[in-house]
Amino acid sequence: LRSQGTHASAVTVPSADTETLAGIDWDNFGFSIHPTDYMYIMKCERGQWQQGELKPYGNLELSPSAGVLNYGQGLFEGLKAYRTFDGRIFLFRPKENAVRMLEGAARMSMDAPSEEMFLSAVRKTVLANQRWIPPSGKGSLYVRPLLIGSGAVLGLAPAPEYSFVVYVSPVGNYFKGGLAPIDLKVETHHHRAAPGGTGGVKTIGNYASVLKAQLEAKSKGYSDVIYLDAVNNHYVEEVSSCNIFIVKDGEISTPELGSILPGVTRKSILELARDQGYKVKERPVSADELMDADEVFCTGTAVVVNPVGSITYKERRTRYNNGGLGKVTKELYKALTEIQMGLSTDKFGWIEEL
Ligand code: COI
């Protein structure tokens, strides 16, 4: 047994050397919650953050009038911890998530943990649950930092107390069918975000509002939907759970930031593609261009880089690469995942080793 940082009194954490997981079928993990050993909790009352601590994973107790339950004051993050082939533990670009949470909190009028508090909580939670990090190449440990208005309110106002929680779950591929190309549908009726709204921050409400269109599409056999902009109903924004890229004549384009989520994988793919000599643009991408692209792929922490096999827009359906994996998609997937799993040199400085 080994204690974690300054929180030795809160909980005694088993180390990976003394406790192993028996009977886990690492080959068949999808993307669903799998309870682990510990979560981290830290509270902020009237602007003052208290000492955080690791606790056994379990339910949270909340007032029925908590700001998050009544007025949606909530933000979340997603990042991953990987086990390398030689047994090291890597976090991928955790600072990006810390900064994004701070930016989201400013937009949602919430108190947020500092970058140092965020990173320390993530490191402690991952190390406390390290036996749940899948073997190299069999998935990753998804880390979910959550910031909620936990204080009670009745009139519409920022909550007087915030809770920062970090929990983890081992995960495999996000979409059913693993890395097989997915079929998407362009949503022409509902919108995800509007200019001046909160589409560019990772607030919980952005995700509840996409469920209706997503469920309708799923019932027709699609994996997910692509949202269009709310002004012209013509420019591509993002998929419910991830960002989107097109490749045309060797040039890579993705919708510019504004009302879309500033994805960490999106940013990494832009940097990788530029480094590999591709012409890369962040610009408005119309639905027509999407339908005429040579390759389309999605990016996100959960989905990684996922090829798109077909898109249906109004009455038209385009199949890309005969439903197979495109050359550029494959190259970028490989370049990203090899850095994440420690199989290639991290010349960008994206990896933090624990
Ligand atoms: C992620 O990719 O980390 C996300 O937060 C998307 C979520 C819908 C799983």
**Minimum-distance ligand 1 atom for the alpha carbon of 300:** 2
Residues with a CB atom less than 6 Å from ligand 1: 78, 207, 241, 300-302
Q: Which residues are 148's β-sheet partners? A: 74, 163
43, 202, 330, 334: the catalytic one is 202
**Cα 101 to middle of ligand 1, angstroms:** 14
**Minimum-distance ligand 1 atom for the alpha carbon of 78:** 3
Give 14's pLDDT tier (boundaries 50, 70, 90). Answer: low
- 321-334 pLDDT, tens digit per residue, is 988 899 999 999 99
State whether the Cα torsion 154-158-163-166 is positive or negative.
positive
**Cα 30 to middle of ligand 1, angstroms:** 13
Q: Whose CA is nearest to atom 8 of ligand 1?
A: 241
Check residue 242 and give its pLDDT: 97
- The complex's ipTM works out to 0.98
Q: Which of 242, 261, 305 to mutate to test the pocket of ligand 1 (most atoms within 8 A of CB)?
A: 242
- Above 70 in pLDDT, residue 8? no
**Cα 165 to middle of ligand 1, angstroms:** 16
> HEC profile for 216-275?
HHHHCCCCEEEEECCCCCCEEEEECCEEEEEEECCEEEECCCCCCCCCHHHHHHHHHHHH
State whether the Cα torsion 329-334-335-340 is positive or negative.
positive
* Mean pLDDT calculated for residue range 167-174: 94
Centre a 10 Å sphere on the Cβ of residue 324 and count the other Cβ atoms it contains: 13
**Cα 146 to middle of ligand 1, angstroms:** 12
Centre a 10 Å sphere on the Cβ of residue 6 and count the other Cβ atoms it contains: 12
Rounded to two decimals, the pTM is: 0.93
Check residue 29 and give its pLDDT: 82
Helix (H) or strand (E) holding 309: strand 304-313
- 272-305 pLDDT, tens digit per residue, is 999 999 999 999 999 999 999 999 999 999 999 9
Check residue 22 and give its pLDDT: 66
- Above 80 in pLDDT, residue 173? yes
- 179-232 pLDDT, tens digit per residue, is 789 999 999 999 999 999 999 999 999 999 999 999 999 999 999 999 999 999
- Above 50 in pLDDT, residue 345? yes
Tokens in use for 102? 């701070």
Is 202 considered catalytic here? yes
Q: Whose CA is nearest to atom 9 of ligand 1?
A: 302
Distance CA(321)–CA(7), nearest Å, equals 53
- Above 90 in pLDDT, residue 142? yes
The answer to whether residues 301 and 78 touch, using CB atoms and an 8 Å cutoff, is yes
Instruction: List Cβ<8 Å contacts ≥24 apart for 153-159.
Output: 153/65, 153/66, 153/67, 153/70, 153/71, 154/65, 154/70, 156/71, 158/67, 158/73, 158/109, 158/110, 159/66, 159/67, 159/68, 159/73, 159/110
Q: What distances in angstroms separate CA 54 from CA 4, 18, 127, 309, one per listed residue?
A: 9, 19, 11, 43
Q: Whose CA is nearest to atom 6 of ligand 1?
A: 241
How many percent of the chain have pLDDT more than 90?
88
DSSP secondary structure letter of residue 3 = -
Check residue 26 and give its pLDDT: 87
- 82-102 pLDDT, tens digit per residue, is 999 999 999 999 999 999 999
Q: Whose CA is nearest to atom 7 of ligand 1?
A: 241
Average pLDDT, the chain: 93
**Cα 6 to middle of ligand 1, angstroms:** 30
